[in-house]
Amino acid sequence: MAPPTLGSRRFKVLLAGVFSQILCVGVARFAYTPLLPVMQQQTWMGDADGGWLAALNYVGYMLGAVLAACIRSIHIKDTLYRICLVLAVLTTAGMALTEHFWLWAGLRLLAGFSSSGAMLLASGLILHWLIQHRLRGELGIHFAGLGLGIVVAAVAVELMLALSLNWQVQWWGFSLLGAALLVPAWRWLPRPSTDRPGAGGHSNVAVKPPTRTFMRWMLAAYFCAGYGYVISATFIVVIVEREPLLAGAGNWTFALVGLAAAPAVILWDLVARRIGYLGALILAMSLQVIGIILPAITANLAAVLFSAVLYGGTFLGCVSLVLTMAGRLYPSSPARLMGQMTLAYGAAQIVAPALTGMLAEATGHYGVGLWLAGGFVTLGAVLLACLRKVDQTAQRLDAAAKTTVYA
C-alpha cells in the first residue's frame, strides 16, 4: 500500500480538529443548551439552577484556558488534549447518572475544562504540525467544527425527542456519540515530534507592544462581547420554546446558529482585509446586538430565525478576529495576550448566565436578560469605535489587515 501523501495527512489532521470540536464543544459543552428545557420539564431544575450550571461550565473552560496558556511543552499539551477528549465523554455520560445539583455542577465544570482542549490545545497542536510540514497555518476548517458541533447537538436532541426519549437517555445517546467521535479526534492528530518547526517563524521579529489604552479598552470591549455571546449560547432554545407561537422550533433555531457559525471565521477574515480588524469587530458586534435582542422584541418565527443567523454568524467571528489580532501583536508568543483576552471573555461568561437565570426566575421571562446582553455588546462596540480613533496600536492593526498579502 502506498504511503499517504502530505495532502491526505493534512486533511486528516484538520478533520481530527473538527471531530475534537464536535466532541468537546458540541457534545460536552453545547448539548446542555438544547437539553436544558427538557431537563427543566422532567426534573426539579429551575431557571436559576440552569444558569448556575452554565456559569460553572464556563469556569471550567477558563481554568482550562489558563492552564493551556501556562504550559510550554508541546508534549504536555498533547497529553492534556487527549485527557480532555476522555473527560468530554465521561462528563457527558455522568450527567445521566445523577440528579444531584452539586454532582451536576462538578460535571459541568469538568466538561467546560474539556472544551478548552478543542478550542485552544487542539488549535495549537494543529498549527505546530502544519508549521513543521511547511504548510499554511490556517484554522478556518478547525473552527468550523464548533458550528458543526452546535448543529449536531441541536439535531440529535430533536431526533431523540421525536423518539420520546427522556433526558437521561438523551445524555446516554450523547455519550455514545462522543465515544465514536473520540476515535478519529485521538488517532488522526499525530503525536508531536521532537523536530524543530520549519523555517519562517517569527521569533526574531521586533514588535512594538500594544499601548495601555489599547489593552484596557480592548479587554473591556471583549468582556462585553463575552457577556452577549453566552446568553444566547446558553438560553436560546429555552427562550424560543417558551413562546407559544414558537414551541417546537427551539432546536432548529439552535441548529441554524451552528450552520451560520461554521463559515464565520473565513467570512470575517475577508471582511477584515477590507475594513481592518477593529472595523470588522465593530461590525460583527453591531450585527450581534440585533441578533440578541430580536427574540425579546418579537415572537415572529422568521425574525427569530434571522436573529439566529446573525448571532451564529458573528460570535465566532469575534473570537477569531481577536485571536488573529493577538497573533499580530505578539507573533512570537501570542499566548500572553490570548490569555488576557480569554480571561476577560470568560469572566463575562461566568457572571452572565447566573445573573440571567436569576432574572428569568424572578420575572418569569428572559427579556430583561436579552436586553442587558444587547446593551453590553453595544457598549463594547462603542468602546472599539472610540479606540479605533484614538489609539495607534488599533490603527496599526487595521492597516496591517488591509495590506496583508495572502498566497
pLDDT of residue 2 exceeding 60, the answer is no
- pLDDT tens string 31-64: 998 999 999 999 999 888 988 998 899 889 888 8
Strand, coil or helix: what is 72?
Answer: coil
The reply to whether domains 1-190 and 207-407 share a CATH topology is yes
Query: Among 76-80, 332-336, 368-372, whose mean pLDDT is lowest?
Result: 332-336
Question: Contact at 8 Å (CB) between 137 and 130?
Answer: yes
Nearest to 367 by CA among 224, 242, 244: 242
Task: Give the pLDDT confidence score for residue 220 in this predicted structure.
Answer: 92
Q: Give the integer Cα–Cα distance in Å for 204 and 260.
A: 39
Over the stretch 307-364, which tens digit does the pLDDT of each residue have?
999 999 998 888 888 877 776 676 555 556 666 787 888 888 888 888 888 888 888 8
Q: What is residue 67's predicted lDDT score, i.e. its pLDDT? A: 85
- CA-nearest of 398, 405, 224, 407 to 328 is 398
Residue 180 CA to residue 172 CA, distance in Å, equals 13
What pTM, to 2 d.p., does this model score? Answer: 0.81
Q: Name the one residue in this structure whose C-alpha cell is 504536555.
A: 76
Percent of the chain beyond pLDDT 90?
40
State whether the Cα torsion 23-26-31-32 is positive or negative: positive
Give the distance from CA 129 to its chain's centroid. 22
- Mean pLDDT score, 273-291: 91
What does the alpha-carbon distance between residue 333 and residue 229 come to, in Å, rounded to a whole number? 27
Examine the pLDDT at 68 and tell me if it is beyond 90.
Answer: no
The three cell numbers locating residue 353: 448566565
112 pLDDT higher than 50: yes
List of residues 6+ apart from 135 with CB closer than 8 A: 6, 10
What region does 333 belong to: left with phi over 0, alpha with psi -120 to 50, or beta? beta
Where exactly are the structural domains of the chain? 1-190, 207-407
Report pLDDT digits (tens) over 238-263.
Answer: 888 888 878 888 888 999 999 999 88
Q: What's the pLDDT score for residue 371? A: 94
Residue ranges of the alpha helices (H) in 188-275? 212-241, 250-261, 264-275
Amino acid in the structure at residue 232: S
Can you read off the three cell numbers belonging to residue 19? 471531530
C-alpha cell at position 231: 446568553
CATH number of 1-190: 1.20.1250.20
Q: How many C-beta atoms lie closer than 10 Å to residue 70's C-beta?
A: 9
Which distant-in-sequence residues (6+ apart) come within 8 Å of 58 by Cβ?
A: 112, 230, 346, 349, 350, 353
Least confident among 190-204, 214-228, 248-262: 190-204
The span from the CA of 69 to the CA of 341, in Å, is 11
The lowest-confidence range among 87-91, 185-189, 215-219 is 215-219
The per-residue pLDDT for 65 is 81
Compute the average pLDDT of residues 5-23. Answer: 88
User: Which range has the worst mean pLDDT, 166-170, 176-180, 278-282, 374-378?
Assistant: 278-282
pLDDT band at residue 406 under the 50/70/90 scheme: very low
Domain 207-407, CATH class in plain words: mainly alpha
Examine the pLDDT at 204 and tell me if it is beyond 70: no
Buried b (16+ CB within 10 A) or exposed e, 82-109: bebbebbbbbbbbbbeeeeeeebbbbbb
pLDDT band with cut points at 50, 70 and 90 for residue 404: low
Cell numbers for 60 = 471550567
The set of cell numbers assigned to 381 is 462596540
Burial of 327 (0-12, 13-18, 19+ CB in 10 A): middle
User: Which grid coordinates belong to 192?
Assistant: 508531536
Percent of the chain exceeding pLDDT 70 equals 89
Is residue 137 very low, low, confident or very high in pLDDT (cuts 50, 70, 90)? low
Q: Is 319 exposed, middle or buried (0-12, 13-18, 19+ CB in 10 A)?
A: buried
Residue 245 pLDDT: 79
Chain position carrying cell 415572529: 300
Q: CA-to-CA distance for 139 and 1, rounded, in angstroms?
A: 30
C-alpha cell at 358: 436569576
